Every structure is written in structure tokens, then in C-alpha cells.
A and B are shown apart, each in its own frame.
Chain A
Amino acid sequence: MTIDELRGRVADFLATHDPRSTDRLEFLRARYDAGLAWVAFPEGHGGLGVPQALQAEVDRLFVEAGAPDNNPSANGIGLGMAAPTILAFGTDAQKARFLKPLWTGEEIWCQLFSEPGAGSDLAGVATRAVRDGDAWVVNGQKVWTSGAHNAKYAILVARTDPDQPKHSGLTYFLCDMTDPGIEVRPLRQITGEAEFNEVFLTDVRIPDSHRLGEEGQGWKVANATLNNERVSIGKTALRESGMIGVVARTWRAQPERRTPELHDRLLRLWVDAEAARITGQRLRQKLAQGQPGPEGSAMKLAFATIAQQLSGLELELLGEDGLRYSDWTMVRPESVDFTGRDAGYRYLRAKGNSIEGGTSEILRNIIAERVLGLPAEPRLDKDVPWKELQK
């Protein structure tokens, strides 16, 4: 399909669904049915099977027409991680059941992966799923779960076979967050907010029809999810977008606060941010040509370092005002904006950038081993049944 044919499809759709007079949800559901939601997805599942590169133009046309959007920032886990994983590993029935309300935002998703004892070593998860007839009974504790208090569903990794070595005993599930065995507790962070939650699972029943992929295949499915996370985190397109834009605007607006030392640091970071932006652009051009790989880890590494240094610089630039903080009150934000709120918040929140979605240390291991081909870290836990490992 050419871009002009695609434009024609959008125009036809808008001619029969006036964004001003059509109910918001009705409009979004119809857009999904027309294959104009995520156009790279296959027909019948909200797409047309056309290249991902065409998505931007479709989105632009809908924005131009004043159409309602699916509020993507409220469902980042669903759109960025759950959806591509369900598409890759789901049965036809699972795709038909979950993808549409996920895209329209009727069902928000969260991620039940990390645990207190399984962070960087995610394959060490201890949450147990035990088969009981045509269902699974799940018990355990998850952590760092953003949006759990709003979510209808979760992607969940649980241990189904403790006799297997840790990577082979895992299974991936789609978990109903309204199950009575689920308890969500806010987890307050250094910013004062509780963007994340702890999730306790007690005898949660998940029907076997909500298992994603084969039993014991959970690690492979989870890696598909995590690769999507790293690509989406490293994403910026325009010059001076993100943290560098915020700090550059502060610099321009407050000439009286400038010092030669801050100027030098700002320019170094401006160059680093621009280099990261151009590298991201080159990586996306490579991905569009079907050359994906672990190189995205380098992008995420750079993003975290630059965001942390810039947000620290901004506080120094603000001087006395950098000593003030907007509000320590515990709130549960609906969505997270790394460049939002005030400079103090940005500084504190950026500390998470080198921890979430793979710590910078783990990413360096990934680059060294999978890109450069250097020897893997010595593993004491590889061929040992999980239940025999020292916890």
C-alpha cells in the first residue's frame, strides 16, 4: 500500500466518522476496526500490515482532523510492551480479546516482572504459578509496578517449574488485576510521589487460556517485551527535545545566572544530547531496514547519563531557586513526564533512568557480550535447578 492509498483510507474513514460528532470511544473502536490504529499490525488487529514508518503520517492526519486520541501516555506499558508481545506470541483468541480494548485505552496494562529478589536478575523470579485444572494459582510479590492501581490487566512472569534451571522454569501470563487476590500498595519514591506500586498476589486464579506462549517459555517471551522497552526508552526525534530543551530554555531565559563553568558543561551536554539524538535516528533507520539488534542498549545508556547530568546542571544554574522543591506530598500520578514538574523533581526522577528498564551496568554487560562478543560473566546459577539456588 502506498502512502497515498493510506491517506485515502484515512480520508474515507473521517468522511464517515466525523470526529466532532462521533462519541470518543465509538470513534476509537471504529478506527481500530478500520486498521488505522497501529498500521504495522496485521489486518483484523487494528492494522493494515504496512511499514511502521507510515504510522507518523496516519497519526498526523488524525490530529489534523481534530480526532480524539487514545491517551497513549496513560497506557505506555500496554501499547509499548504488552501489545507487541501479545501480537508475537498470542493465540488468535488472545489477540482478538485483548488488543482492541488495549489500544482504545479501555483496558490499561501494567507489568508484573521485577520482584524484591529479582531485579537485574529477572530470571530469578520467585512468584509461583501452580496448575489447578484449567487454571493457574499464583502467589508472590512484585515491585516497581507503575500504573498497577489503574490497570485492568498485567503481563506477568511467574515460576511454574522450580525443578528446572531458572531460565527454563518460567511462564508468561496475562493477569486480571481485578482478581480478589491482588493487593496493590503505593511505593513512594525519592521524589515524594508514588509512581510505582508493590503488588501482592495471593491465590490469584489465572485461566490457562491467559497463558502467553508455551509453559516454560516465559523467559523468551519476556525478552521480547524487554527489547521493546529499551527501544521505546531511547526515543527522541527533534533537536532540543527532552531534558536538553528544558535546560537550554532556562539558560536563555536567565542570563544573570550564567557562569563560564556552567556554560562549558551545558555545551558539552548539548553536543552529547545532539549526538545521542542523531545516533537514535541512525539506529531507527537501521531498524526500518530490518537490522535490529542489542545496539539499542547504547542509546538507553547515553540517555540516562545525559538526563542525569543535565538535570543536576539545571539545579546549579538555578542557584537559590534550586534549593526549593515544589511539593513533597505523596500523590499517585496518572502519567510520568521525566521533563515535567520542577527542576528538583527532574533531578530526582532522572536517578531512576539508569535503573529502570535495565540498569546501566547490565546494559554495559549486554553491549560487551552481545555486540562486542566478549566473554559472558561467570554464572554459578546456570544449570542448577532453581529450587537449589542460594536465595
Chain B
Amino acid sequence: MSDLNLLPTDVEDDLRATVRDLLVDHCELSAVAAVYDGDRSLVERLWKALSVDLGLAGLLVPEEHGGAGASTREAAVVLDELGRHVAPVPFLTSAVVATTALLDSDHALLGRLATGDCTVAMTVPLSIELDAPGRELASVTADDGGRLTGRVTSVAGALEADVLLVPTVDADRLALYAVPVEQAGVEPVVSLDMTRQLADITLDGIAAELVLADAEAAVRRALEVGAALLASEQAGVAGRCLETTVAYLKERRQFGRVVGGFQALKHRLADLYAGVESARSVAVSAAAALAADEDGSVATAVAQAYCSDLAVHAAEEAVQLHGGIGMTWEHPAHLYLKRAKADQIAFGTAGAHRARLAGLVDLPPVRA
């Protein structure tokens, strides 16, 4: 196994700068906070700017379908920046998970995804574990005429989607169907993280188009890529929490001195710095491993097992070290805490990824 390049390429640096510029201009944290009070105007505006104007919706779509043909490395850079800004856009669900599920299908949806003309969500619970059995991946059934019936709860990206990509199960096969969103029952959920608001989906004998008849590998691949790249979002969340906390502690004065000079706080921040650096390393490593097709499952499990908890820790430290102001609605720390906590559960908790890792690296549990 060769050493993967863990440093950004020039192209990745440029991409990061472009995305960051746009987010600084168009993703103000006050507008992000407003989604919790029901003002979702930022969501559509920002997603159009990212998906259409910057063309990020088609990042992972192959060039023959009109996309950029980029790899998981570039998508990871985008997610890192989106995490830094807790951006409320469906990039992960549409441009990563749904797009990856469709990659082997040659379906026309890929071309529509690439232009940003169409946003897609795969109907699985956000908390789905990568090793979940088929019946949990797909709780919807299709009849002989391709009519779908069933209910899927806690789906991310559905509220922003034009098309739902529905995994279905029959006796022995998992298939993927496409349904226009307006034909499904989409019920918004009051979510812990309203910047990635969930919805419960009900399908009541809806006519659907078969996209992939034998879709289990594609669906599992999509979830693994989603989990691997979520680690970059978590690293972005954690990195931003560290930066803003360090900056605040350099200004905040008590007892006649800057509180960042107290060793009890310096040591906590030093430990957090070490953790954030490790999070960034394993997140980049997972994206690079998938791009190079080298040991991607282990790298994904490590990245999720590490970043899920580290991002929560970073956000919790941010709240605590900001003191009272960190507990207010006005200060953005809570946006990061809610995103980090929801991300920890997304695609399985760190514990679920450790359990998966045990099988992948031959560290078996106690025998039953």
C-alpha cells in the first residue's frame, strides 16, 4: 500500500478558496440561525449559488453526463467548508449520497444532477448504519406494477429535493426507484439540527420509475462515501469551533488578564488542537483512500469513529469556553453543537463504526 497524498493539491486549494469566498458572502450565521425560527429563505438561495453558479452539484458526476468528474477528495474539501459555516444545503445528501448511488446506473438523472437542475435525496434514515441489514436500508415495497408503498422516517435532504431515490426490498433483492417528490407525503420534522432538517416520507401506492434493479452494492457504496465525507464536514465544524474559541479567549479579559493565558484553558485548547489535526488527517485520508480505491472501508470507519466524537467535543468545548455567551441563542456556538451532535448519529455513531472496524481489522469481540 503506497502512502496516500494527504496534502491538498493546487486544484483543491483553489476550490476551497472559491467555496469559502462564497460562503463568507452568502452564508451569514444570523441567516443560518433563522432556519430554526422557520425562515428557510437562505436554503434555496445558497444552494442555487453553490450548485448552479459554482457547479458543485455536478462535482462527482462523470464528465460524460455533464459533471466535473471530480473525486471524493474534492467533495471532501467542499464539505469541510460547508461544515465550517454550518451551511444548510443538501450537498451531502444530493451531490454525494444520491449521486454516488446513481453512478453505475447511467440514468438521465445524473445529467440533471450535474446542471443543478434537479436535487435528489435517497430515502434512508439519516441515522442508518453502514452494516444495516437490507430490510432496514429499504422499508418500502414495490408491487409488480412498480407502485411503491411504505414509510421512511428521518430522511435528510428530502425537503430540498425534487426527486426521491427510494430503496425497495422484495424477497431477495434491493432495488432503487425514482419518485417525483410532490407525489410522496413529505412531512417536515422538528429536528435537533434544523440546518439539516429531516422529513418523514410516506409512499401510498405511488407509481415510480425503476432506476436500478439490483442496487444493494450501489446503495451501500453511497452510504460509505457519505459517511467518509461526513468526516470532512465534522473536521470543518471542529476546526471552526477551535478557531473561534481561541480567538475569543485572546480577547476576553477577567482578573485583569486575557483568559487565554490561563494554563487550565491553554492546555484544553492544546489538546483540542491535537484532536482537530487528527480529525483533519483521518478525514483527508478517508477521502483519499476512496478516491484511490485503497482500503476505503477501514479508512472510513477510522474517520467516522474519530471525527464523530471529536466534532461534538470541539463544539461542547466551544460552548463551555465561551462561558455564558456560548449558551445564548444569539451566539452561533449552538449551531455548531447541534450540527455536531446530529452528525455524530448520522450514518451510525462512533460506536457503530468501531464495531464495524472490529470486523474489518480482525479484532473480534467476545465470543457469544
Contact = CB atoms under 8 A, between A and B. Distances in A.
A375 interface: yes
Contacts of B280: 282
Contact of A298 (B274, B285, B362, B363): B274
B30 interface: no
B254 interface: no
Contacts, number: 127
Nearest to A295: B277
A295 B281 CA distance: 13
Interface stretch (A58-66, A171-179, A258-266, A383-391): A258-266
B267 A364 contact: yes
A260 B366 contact: yes
B354 interface: yes
Contact of B277 (A260, A279, A376, A377): A279
B281 A279 contact: yes
Contact of B260 (A364, A367, A374): A374
Q: What is the interface of chain A mostly: helix, strand, loop, or mixed?
A: helix
Given A373-B250, A374-B246, A374-B261, A367 B274 contact: yes
A294 to B, nearest CB: 11
B45 interface: no
A268 B6 contact: no
Interface residues of B, number: 42
A282 B6 contact: yes
A274 B307 CA distance: 13
Contacts of B7: 282, 285-286, 289
A88 interface: no
Contacts of B271: 301, 364
Contacts of A330: none
Given A251-B363, A267-B357, A374-B250, A274 B302 contact: yes
Interface in B253-299: 257-258, 260-261, 263, 266-267, 269-271, 273-274, 277-282, 284-285
A375 B261 contact: yes
B365 interface: yes
Nearest to B305: A271
Given A278-B282, A281-B3, A282-B284, A374 B365 contact: no
Q: What is the interface of chain B mostly: helix, strand, loop, or mixed?
A: helix
A378 B354 CA distance: 43
Interface in B349-368: 351, 354-355, 357-358, 361-367
A275 B278 contact: yes
Given A278-B282, A282-B6, A285-B5, A271 B363 contact: no
A323 to B, nearest CB: 22
29 contacts: A248-B363, A252-B363, A255-B364, A258-B366, A259-B366, A267-B305, A267-B354, A268-B354, A270-B357, A271-B306, A271-B357, A274-B302, A275-B306, A278-B281, A278-B302, A285-B3, A289-B7, A302-B274, A364-B266, A364-B267, A364-B271, A365-B263, A372-B266, A372-B273, A373-B246, A373-B250, A374-B261, A375-B257, A375-B261
Interface of A: 248, 251-252, 255, 258-260, 263-264, 266-268, 270-272, 274-276, 278-279, 281-282, 285-286, 289, 295, 298, 301-302, 361, 363-365, 367-369, 371-378
